[in-house]
Each structure stands twice: as C-alpha cells, then as structure tokens.
Structure 1
Amino acid sequence: NMDAMQWTSGDPSVPASVCSLPCKMGERKKVVKGVPCCWHCERCEGYHFQASEFMCELCPYEQRPDQNHTGCQPIPIIKLEWHSPWAVLPVFISVLGILATTFVIVTFVRYHDTPIVRASGREMSYVLLTGIFLCYAITFPMIAAPDVAVCSFRRIFLGLGMCFSYAALLTKTNRIHRIFEQGKKAVTPPRFISPASQLVITFSLISVQLMGVFVWFATDPPHTVVDYGEQRTQDPENARGVLKCDISDLSLICSLGYSILLMVTCTVYAIKTRGVPETFNEAKPIGFTMYTTCIIWLAFIPIFFGTAQSAERMYIQTATLTVSLSLSASVSLGLLYMPKVYIIIFHPEQNVPKRKRSFKAIVTVATMTSKLSQLTSERPNGEVKTELCEGMDTMPSSKTTYVSYTNHAI
C-alpha cells in the first residue's frame, strides 16, 4: 500500500530515484569520477557562459554573458555625458570664466588708449587673456563625445592655454628681474625689453609647445578607442566599455609638462622680484598668482593619478583636470585684471597718466633697495634708516634722459 508509506521528509510523494537532477540553464555538469550517471551542477560564474552540457567558456574581451549565462552579448559603451554631475560643475565654471574673460577683453579693447591699459602692457595682456580664454574653453572638447576632430582639439589646446598664460607671465617677470638687476650695475637699460621683443620671446616659448604637438600628431595620429578594462567589474552586469581618445597618462604628462615647467620658472622669477618696489611694477600680483596656481596644481596631481584604479576614473580625472585649468585661469584673471577693470569702470578718475620714471630712477631704487638689504644685516634699524637717508641726501642731482617707462609697465 504505497499511500500508507511514510517518508522521513514528511512529503507523501515518492522521492525521485535518480543520482543527480538535471542542471539549470547556465550550469554545467561536473561528472563524479567512476559514476557516469552522477554529477554536480556548477554555475558558470563571472564572464563565463555555458558553451556545452559539460563546459563553461570565457566570453570575448568586448562581450559579457547574458542573464542566463547561456551566451555572450556586447558590453555597453559609455562616455561622459553633458548632463552628468561630473560635467555640469566644470561646464558651469567654464561658462562663467569665458564670460568674465570676454568682458575683460572687451573692456581693454574699448579703453585701449587709457593709461591703465597702456601701463599693463597691452600686447602681453592680450596674449595672457588669450591663454586664460583657452584654459576655460578646453572644458568643452574634454567633455564632448570623442571622435577624431574632438581628439585633435584636445591634443592641441590641452596644454596650449597654459602655455600662452605662463609664457606671457614668465616673459613679464623675467623683464622686471632683468631691469632691476641691470639697474644695480649700470644706467643703461637691458636688451629686449620693448613690446616687440617681449612678443617675440613669448611666441618663441609657445612655439616649443606647438612643435611638440605637431610631432605627436605625426608619430601617433589622433583616434578613439574603447577601453573595456577601465570598468570591467567582477559583476558582468556592471561592466562598461569607455569610449575615449587615445591619450595615455604619459602623453598627458608630456603635454602639460612643458606648461608646468614654464609655471615653475615663472614662480622662481616671481620670488626673485618680490622685493621690487610696488610702485614700479606688478610683480607682487604676479607672485600671488603663481603661488596660488602652484597650490592648485599640487592638489591636482595626487587626485588625478591617485584615482587611476577607480571605476569612476574617467569622470574624476576629466572633472579634476578641467576644474584645475579653470581655477588657475580664474586666479590669473582675478588677481591681474579684475582690479584694473574695476578702476577703469568704477573709478575713471584714477585712470590718469602716471609720472614717468627715468631709467636713472630705477637704478636709484635698485641701488637703495640693495643697500638697505645689506645694511639691515649689519646694523640696527635706526642706523640703517639714518645712513640710508644720509646717502640719498648726498647723491648728486643730474639730468637724465627719460625713457618711456611708466610705473606699471616696468
């Protein structure tokens, strides 16, 4: 009487009289050695799929298993989208920076012949403002969907904006340094301090960056790649291929390295000219600009390269790079040009010609500054002031030939 039989499981149905149950979809049979009718079912894990009843195989590199692990399907390809939070903030900062830079350029063009604009070195100011504009504008090709044109723009303008900015600032600080160093030795001005000479020096520095970019284009033409390893997670469901330009970290370092070299050299000259009297030049604002910029890029390096193994690498590195470029441009724009624009617009009564300085006056200031530094280390403050004043009283007064230097132009 089968109905009267009691099974230990408590289930009245008759147990299946088999050694192993059939395996489910996505599982392979692992046969028990010596018992061909018995097997264990093993799930095809990770990027493996069920190739046959007894075997799991690995999907091709650009594919992942389907939901049942019975076949493979292409891995979805992603890119940085404009609506992504990682793109919204850099774009917002960039748009504000472009508007501010355009406003400054328009103001300088409109008041082209006023004393403050002339004293700022009009030619070099336009070069520097061009670099600032490019630093803001590079955000858009960095976020745009990669193709050959976008990748070409990235290569050209990634380091070019910084190169324009720091080549101009380096030329300015070097000029200030040479003028006051020459003033300690002789009353003749140094060579290559005219606006035309400054432009030649600046564009010579910029041409090095452009030559490097052209060599890069010749040896490795720009193209796009799909990186399946950047977001190849343990769970195939989350795997993504990243569409990006073929720019390695080494290429990025080389592209930005020359501009960073200019930045460091400019900072050195800014430190050397920090003791120059403020009435003669804008060395102190340039110095503050370079110190702040160095801090920004020192913070950028560990963030950029410290996230190389992160699954969000593409988003973090792009946002970090674009924000760093925009912040360094904002520092230059804010410290060097906004005070001048403020005076031009809101205090036009201060936008008047300054008293011209002869190179002899620069020599006098340079000599007195050097003498003050020497006496400070040798005598108390009172003696330094007394001796310095006595030295100035005994200086012979003579006629000097005036050179077309204004306070800020020096």
Structure 2
Amino acid sequence: MIGVCGLFVLIAHIVVSTYIPREVCTTYSVPGDVNIGGLFSLHGDGDVSEMEGCRGRYPVSALQLTEAMAFAVMTINQDDSVLPNVTLGFIIHDDCSWPEYSIWCSLSLVLGAQPSLEDDFCNIPGPNIGTTERMAVGIIGTAKTSSSEVVINTVELFERPLVSYGATDQELHGEHGHPYFFSTIPSDSHKAEAIVDILAHYNWEYTAVVYSSDHDIMHLLHDILDLANSHSMCMDVQVMLSEVPTVDELRVMVEVLQEHRHAKVILLLVSSAAAANAVMSAVSTAEPPLERTWVASDSWGTQLVRDRRSQGGVFIEYSKPKLTEFEEYFRSLLTGLNTTQNPWFNEFCSGSDICQESSEEGFSGEIATLAPTIDAVLSVAYALDQTISDLCNNSISNCIFQKGFDDNLFRNLQKVSFPGTRGQFEFEGNFVPAQVSVKNMQRQEGGGFELVEIGSWSSVLMDGERLTIDERLVQWVEGNSDIPQSVCRDVCPVGYVEEIDSTKRCCWKCRACRVDDIVVGTECVSCEQNEWPNSNYTVCDKLHAKTVTWDEPAVISLIFLSSLGLLLCVLATIGMIKHRRHPLIKASSRELSCVNLLGLFLSFVTVYPLLCPPSATSCGMGTILYVSSFTLIFASLLLKVNRIYRIFESSTKTVRPPRYTGPIAQLVIVALLVMIQPLLILITALVKPGSWTSIRNLFPIPPRNQPRTLEIFCDLDIGFLVAMSYNFALLGACCFFAYKARNVPGNFNEARFYVASVYTTLVPILAAMPMYFTADNAISLAISICLVLIINGYVTVGCVYLPKLYIATFKKVTEQENNHQSLSVQSRRTFVLSGDSNRVHPSTS
C-alpha cells in the first residue's frame, strides 16, 4: 500500500503546483491507539495568489468546532461502553478554507505523515509517510461541499470514510457519487424541499432569488429550481452576488427587484451573515422603499441584523440543540480549569474578551455545525467499536490496517446507530434525516426583533405532513396579519380573465371578456341568448322579459285608431239598420254586409288582446280573432264582388238572374267559407299543440357594450300561417273577381269600392310581412301586425260603407230609383248594352 501511496504523492507533486502557506503545517493532535483526522477552516479570508491564504481569522465558532471534536473524543475515551481498552486519538488540520489545501491535509492524514516546515513553506505530506501511528482511519470534515468533493476523491483511494459536518450536496452520494462519503448534516435536497414546501404553503408562485456565487449555494439553488418547476413556481428573477457583494452589485440588485414589483417574496441564499446584512442594508435605503418578505435558508439567521428590514422574514434552520456539557467544557478552558493543546486557542482568545462573549450560556444553539461535528466523531467511534469487536478480538495492535478492516469499518458506518446530540442517530442514504425549525422575525413588545419559532419541517414524514406552521404565531412585514401575495399578476377587475403575458415570462395579464360573457376560472363563458351576466360577471341571470306597454306613444296611437275604427263600425252598423229600406242599402246585400261588418268589428277588437302582456290566453285569443276577422271580411267581400260580376256577366246573355245570388244562398255560401277557418284552427292545434298560444322571444340589438334585453310578443306560429294562407286564398279570389268586374258600368260604384278595398288591403299586408320577419323588438311587431288590421278596417269602412251611408243620409232618392226594381231584366240588359248611364241605377237586385 505504501508503494501505491508514494506513487500517488509523486504524481500529486508533479501535477499540482500550488503555494502552501506555513500555517497549514499547524496541527492539533492528541495521539491514541487509533486516530481519526479532522479538517476545519480556522483561517482563509485572503487571496492565495497574494500569499494571504491563511492570514484572515474566522470567528470564534471555528475554534469551538475544533474543540467540539476534541470534546467528543474525550467523551468517547471516558465511556467504557464504546471502544473499551482503546484510546481514540485525533489529528486536526486547518485547511484555510481552500480545497487545494484540503487535498494535501487529507493526504497527510491517510498516509500517516507529519507535515514539515521548510523556510516559509509547508511541505505536505512531508518526507516521512506510512507512519501508522499518524494514519487516520477516517476523516471528519470538511465544512464545505467544494472542499469535500476534492477530499473524498483522495481518501476513497485509500478506502477511508469521510464524514462531513457541513457538506450538504446530495451529488456527493448520488447515483454517481462517492460511497465513502457521509454527512451528519442534512443534504441540500432536504433544505430545498423545506423551502419549496414553505413557498407552496403560502402560494408564493413568483419569487425572486438573491444568491451568492458560492459553490454550495449554487448547488442548493439548482435543487430548489428543479423542485420549484415541478410545483409550477417561477423563480425567473435571479440576482447573483459575490461572496462579498460590491456596491455596484448591490445597486444592480435593488434595480432588478424594483423593476419586478410583483416579486413580493425574495429567497435569500448567501453563505454568510455579512453578505445577508449587506443585502438588507442596500434594500432598506432603496428609493422607493422595497417592502419585501424574505425567505432565508442558512444558519446565519441568528447573526442577521435584527431590525425592521428583516421583519416578517421566514428562516429555516436545522435542529441546533443546546449542548450544555460542551459549553461547560469550553468555558472551563477559558477560565483555566481545564487545559487544551489546541495551537490556535491563544490566537483566538488571548488578549480579547471575544471568546468570553461568544461563550455565554446557550451559544451552542447558535452554531449549526456544532452538533453535527460531535455526531460525526461519535459515528466513527461507534463504527470503530463494532469493527474492532468483529475483527480484532479486542486487540488492535495488528488488525487496524489489515486487509478488510477499512471495508468492514465502511459497512459498520453505514448502519451505525447511537444516541446522538439530536436524538437517535443513524444515516439515511449516507446523510441524516432533516429536522428543520421554521422561524419568523418579529417585533417584540420592547421594540426589539427576535426570531420566533412558528413551525417545523421533517423529512421523515409523508408529503403533505412534513410542514407544520402555527399561523397564529406568524407576523408579516410591518406587523401585517395578511399573508403577502407574490404572484406576477394584477388583480383583474370584474369581467376580465387572466392569461399568460407573452411579453413577460411567468407573468399573467388581464383580458376583457365579451360584454355577454361570465368569468369561470380563467375562461370567458358566453351566456345563453336569454341570459345576461350579473354585476360580478360570475353568473348568467335570466333576462326579465319586457313587452309593449300602453304608455308608449306608438301603442297609444294603435289603441286610438282601433277605438276610432270600432266607433266607425258602430256608426256604420247603426246607419245600415236605420237605412235598411233604402234601395242602395238593399241593393248591397244587407246579409253579407252584416257578415262583413262583424269581421271589421273583430279586426278592431283584435288589437286589444295583441297589445296585452303575452300569455297563452291573450295570444290565443288575439291570433284566432286575427285570422277569423280576415275570413269574415274577405269571404263576404268575395261573395259581393262575385255576385256583381255574375249578374252583369249573365245579363249580357239572358234575362234570367244567375243562380245562388239570393240572400239565403249567399248566407249559406259565406257560412261554408267561414266554417273552413275554425276547422283549420282545430287541425293545426291538434297537429302542433301550442301553435296558437306560443310566445316569441325578441332580442333587440343593444347599443355598444350595453346589456342585452329580452322582449316578448305573441308568436305567429304554423297554425297562424296556415289560417292566413286560407285568407290569402280568399283575398286572391277577391282580387280576381274584382279584376273581372272592372267593366261594370260606372254608376255601379259599389263594385268600384269593392275593388279599391281589396287592392288597398294588399299594400299593408305586403309591407307588414318583411317588417314582421325582420323585427327584433316587440313594438315593431305590434305595429306591423296591428296596422294591417287597422288599415284594412279603415279602407273597407271608407270604401264600402261610408259612401252608401252618405248617399242614404244626405241625398234624396228619385222616383225612378224608387221604381227601379220594377224594371224588367230585359230593360236592364238594354240599358247596360246601350251604356245609358243616366238611366241605369247601381242596384243589382
């Protein structure tokens, strides 16, 4: 093995040419029957290139870590239950916080070499190697992942375990990691899970990240980003700082955070309290002020400046138990009650009260790596105890470095279990399970600020149960009780939905829905035609149906015209009864005139139910009266004009009057024509129920961006159309016979009036049809339908009855007119053929 080691050292000397300061040669050692090594960083603020690599001194906590290892070894040696009859020793090196120095220090430990000082240079591992008294069976360290990565590459060649108290990168023992690496502090993966669980707990979807370029922080950030993506969180706003941030870096950081105003929560990942305080100071002086909630993930939370800048911040810390026995031990060194061989003790503690101030009761609870250091020593000791028991028969003189010892020690270290400083200790995948305290920076009653524990996170629990937070204990920025919102989206007003902003990654913008849409989640959903969104655009409400009202000017006009038409019908009826003996009235077929007047009366009455609020009763009554009035009017007119045409047509051929022109025959015929209509109404009502009582929904086109309105009116369904088709057939027949009767002598003015009535009726009907089918409001429908009735009624009254009543009332009847009925048919024929209009009377009887 020595030959291999010598070759390795020779290659290392040739390949690696680096300056090793003399401070690295200093070791803290207490030899024993079996030794373990330790790599700690007590110095290292300088620049290696400037030969200042070990001139800067770390805080007292670095010294306390070395004494924690010494204390743990001393505790093992005093416990007969662990390594009985075996003295455990240790050799501690200062790696000056540089990976290059850690390599040489680890080589010195595994090779059993004593570093030698040559002038101002440290010669590691030194000229004498292979001294078993100085060989370390395992190494405790280092504090950083970057250093542990290079050290494990060295020590695993010798199959020695490296038990770190501060390295947290899961990749050191991942699928392609190093099996000989162990860590007594939870991995970054647990820390990342705890952070993401907290962000998810408060629905912080859009988070800014301020991080330092430290190797360990970069690995932690990578783990956090992977988990955040799986939880649909966005951490697109990232600001990287140096381990010691410059003024320019801090200024750029503030500008970036101000630009991304939606990132109300900032994840702070830096490696030191000095860097964190520099960030907080820069943010506190920003204009305009940056009121943000900070989430931090490192042990320096206890060293953070505690003021309103960090108020409301959420800090996660690994379990840091109070180590009372070690505190007493360390204070005994300061008071001289106990002695130490620690070569750095006087450097840190002489001539200054800093060690006394840093060793007040409870200081162990502020150092995150103190308990892991002691547990690391204990884990190696318990594994050694089991290995010696298995291989050495309680005698270690010849078996420590025999073949198979290192491999057996490795296996025992994997399954070691003992009462540690943080409870029962055992490795879980070469790391330890994570017990995390969740703390909140809060203002105290006295005005100060303290970290208050508000919950915990445990890696051993199931998902959904790992994080517990007592919301009653949480205090946010400025003491606000409302949870901060950290999402890149504006609060959308009612009627708007969120959609991805194509100009900003991870952000959402508001898009207006259509005026007739409601908002369902992130979608615009259209309301039905008879619905309209409520004021909050959350529910489609049914539209309140409106119809024509009798206070509208157009309706008032229709009612007035209809009432006047009824009055004219009444007057015409009275006049017809009063002058029923008048030759002109008798000649116009009084029986058919009664039917015709009944139709006119119904046509004017029909206007009233049509203008009432639509219902099955009003619509059924209105539409049935509508078609019936037309049937009565057109059936009687048809017989009248047909009778005139037939009489004058037959008079040119014979003196005998045409058949079926008498009063009884005319009434029978008109009754048959009228009875067809009720039959059609009954058939259509049976074939399609409701065709006479249906109501039509109308949706007037509203002004731009105004609510839709619903209006209702009686629907002219298939039954109405069938019935009106029959009326159109009667009307067509009237037009035909009116055309045929166009040559009736001028004195027969009744035929002319019938022709005018029939033709004039066609005009409003043809005008009303397109208006009805294109109308989108109730008033247009009312006007188009009712005016047809009114106009037809007025034309018929004006053309057929008023002239007769005028003649019967205001003109005297001549003797010739009184005796016109005595004229023979032959005389009528002669007069008609001769065209003597002065002697021909309009009577057709």
TM-score above 0.5: yes
Q: Deviations over 1:136-184 (max 9, x none)?
A: 1111111111112112212311121121111111101111222222222
Contact map agreement 2:747 2:841 (CA 8 A) in 1: no
Q: Does 1:13 align with 2:13?
A: no
Distance in 1 (CA, whole Å) between partners of 2:563 and 2:570 is 11
Contact map agreement 1:44 1:69 (CA 8 A) in 2: no
Distance in 2 (CA, whole Å) between partners of 1:143 and 1:116 is 38
Contact map agreement 1:77 1:226 (CA 8 A) in 2: no
Q: Secondary structure at the match of 2:661?
A: coil
How far residue 342 of structure 1 moved from its aligned partner, in angstroms, is 1.9
Moved more, 269-278 or 328-337: 269-278
State the TM-score, normalizing by the size of structure 1. Answer: 0.78
Residue in structure 1 matched with residue 843 of structure 2 by the alignment: 408
Contact map agreement 1:158 1:255 (CA 8 A) in 2: no
Residue in structure 1 matched with residue 724 of structure 2 by the alignment: 256
Tell me which structure has the larger Cα radius of gyration. Answer: 2
Q: Does 1:216 align with 2:698?
A: no
How far residue 74 of structure 1 moved from its aligned partner, in angstroms, is 2.2
Residue in structure 1 matched with residue 492 of structure 2 by the alignment: 23
Residue in structure 2 matched with residue 330 of structure 1 by the alignment: 794
1:79 is aligned, of 505, 524, 547, to 547
Q: Does 1:117 align with 2:552?
A: no
1:230 is aligned, of 699, 704, 720, to 699
Distance in 2 (CA, whole Å) between partners of 1:317 and 1:111 is 40
User: How many percent of aligned residue pairs carry the same amino acid?
Assistant: 25
Q: Deviations over 1:208-251 (max 9, x none)?
A: 22211121222223434462x63375867431222333433x54
Residue in structure 1 matched with residue 602 of structure 2 by the alignment: 134
How far residue 367 of structure 1 moved from its aligned partner, in angstroms, is 4.8
Task: Give the 3 Å change call, closer, same or farther, for CA 179–281 of structure 1 in structure 2.
Answer: farther
Residue in structure 1 matched with residue 708 of structure 2 by the alignment: 239
Aligned length: 365
- How is 1:216-365 mapped onto 2 (pairs within 5 angstroms)? 216-219=684-687, 220-221=689-690, 222-225=692-695, 227=697, 230-231=699-700, 233=702, 237-248=706-717, 250-279=718-747, 282-305=750-773, 308=774, 310-312=775-777, 314-347=778-811, 353-356=818-821, 357-365=823-831
Residue in structure 1 matched with residue 530 of structure 2 by the alignment: 62
Task: Give the 3 Å change call, closer, same or farther, for CA 178–238 of structure 1 in structure 2.
Answer: same
Moved more, 235-244 or 144-153: 235-244
How far residue 104 of structure 1 moved from its aligned partner, in angstroms, is 1.0
Letter in 2 for 1:336: V
Q: Could you say which structure has the higher helix fraction? A: 1
How far residue 37 of structure 1 moved from its aligned partner, in angstroms, is 4.5
How far residue 117 of structure 1 moved from its aligned partner, in angstroms, is 2.6
2:671 is aligned, of 184, 203, 211, to 203
Q: Deviations over 1:44-94 (max 9, x none)?
A: 323222223x33333355321122323332212111111123312221111
Q: Secondary structure at the match of 2:580?
A: coil
Distance in 1 (CA, whole Å) between partners of 2:766 and 2:693 is 30
Residue in structure 2 matched with residue 173 of structure 1 by the alignment: 641
1:190 is aligned, of 650, 658, 661, to 658
Which structure has more RCO (C-alpha within 8 Å, separation ≥ 6)? 1
How far residue 196 of structure 1 moved from its aligned partner, in angstroms, is 0.6
Q: Secondary structure at the match of 2:781?
A: helix
Distance in 2 (CA, whole Å) between partners of 1:200 and 1:145 is 38
Distance in 1 (CA, whole Å) between partners of 2:290 and 2:538 is 30
Distance in 2 (CA, whole Å) between partners of 1:31 and 1:288 is 71
Distance in 2 (CA, whole Å) between partners of 1:35 and 1:296 is 64
- Gap runs ≥5 in structure 2: 1-246, 260-286, 293-486
Q: Deviations over 1:190-209 (max 9, x none)?
A: 11010111111112111222
Moved more, 105-114 or 18-27: 18-27
Contact map agreement 1:175 1:193 (CA 8 A) in 2: yes
Residue in structure 1 matched with residue 231 of structure 2 by the alignment: none
Distance in 1 (CA, whole Å) between partners of 2:686 and 2:805 is 43
Contact map agreement 1:78 1:243 (CA 8 A) in 2: yes
Residue in structure 2 matched with residue 401 of structure 1 by the alignment: none
Task: Give the 3 Å change call, closer, same or farther, for CA 186–340 of structure 1 in structure 2.
Answer: closer
Q: Secondary structure at the match of 1:231?
A: coil
Contact map agreement 2:644 2:844 (CA 8 A) in 1: no
Task: Give the 3 Å change call, closer, same or farther, for CA 71–406 of structure 1 in structure 2.
Answer: same
Contact map agreement 2:494 2:536 (CA 8 A) in 1: yes
How far residue 114 of structure 1 moved from its aligned partner, in angstroms, is 3.4
CA RMSD of aligned residues (A): 3.4
Letter in 1 for 2:769: I
Letter in 2 for 1:245: C
Contact map agreement 1:77 1:243 (CA 8 A) in 2: yes
Task: Give the 3 Å change call, closer, same or farther, for CA 295–45 of structure 1 in structure 2.
Answer: closer
